[in-house]
């Protein structure tokens, strides 16, 4: 069970859109839409931003959106703001009641 692959870093200017990829295999991302995304500021616990691939919990800005194509899930942040600067982690169901997280991406605004 290998970690899902995310780019180490992504950067953008305020107001721009960025996309973070999360690449797995047909045993995890490719087979299930049980994918979630988390935002983590330094020294803080992660915060759920997207679940079931594209759903937003109550209170999460609609600037955050999720999608999937094949073995790759993506998180898009539109209208980038300074407060979006954080680490982002993806997570996928991997079958047999196991889960796998991504390697994490540092977003710089």
Partner 1 sequence: QVQLQESGPGLVKPSQTLSLTCTVSGGSLSGGGYYWSWIRQHPGKGLEWVAYIYYNGNTHYNPSLKSRVTISVDTSKNQISLQLSSVTAADTAVYYCARELQIAFDIWGQGTMVTVSS
The smaller minimum CB distance to partner 1, of residues 10 and 48, is found at 48
Picking from 62, 108, 61, the residue whose alpha carbon sits closest to that of residue 85 is 108
The pair of three-digit structure tokens given for residue 61, joined into one six-digit string: 């800005």
Helices H / strands E in the chain, number of each: 0, 9
Least Å distance, CB 99 to partner 1, is: 4
Q: Which of 18, 35, 109, 98 lies closest to 72, judged by CA?
A: 35
35 binds partner 1, rule: CB under 8 A:
yes
Does position 38 interact with partner 1 (CB under 8 A)? The reply is: yes
Q: Tell me, by CB under 8 A, how many residues bind partner 1.
A: 27
Q: In a 10 Å sphere around its CB, with 0-12 CB exposed, 13-18 middle and 19+ buried, how is residue 29 labelled?
A: buried
Shortest Cβ distance from residue 61 to partner 1 (Å)?
A: 16
109: contact with partner 1 by CB under 8 A: no
Chain positions 53 to 82 lying near partner 1, rule: CB under 8 A, are: 57
Question: Which residues of this protein are in contact with partner 1, per CB under 8 A?
Answer: 1, 3, 6, 32, 34-36, 38, 45-48, 51-52, 57, 89, 91-93, 97-104
């Amino acid at each position: 069970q290998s970690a899902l692959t995310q780019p180490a870093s992504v950067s953008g200017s305020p107001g721009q859109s960025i996309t973070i990829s999360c690449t797995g295999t047909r045993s995890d991302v490719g087979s299930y839409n049980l994918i979630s995304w988390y935002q983590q500021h330094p020294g803080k616990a992660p915060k759920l931003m997207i679940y079931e691939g594209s759903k937003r919990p109550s209170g999460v800005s609609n600037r955050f959106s999720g999608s999937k194509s094949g073995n790759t899930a993506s998180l898009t942040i539109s209208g980038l703001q300074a407060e979006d600067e954080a680490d982002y982690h993806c997570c996928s169901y991997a079958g047999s009641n196991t889960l796998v997280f991504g390697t994490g991406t540092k977003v710089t605004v």
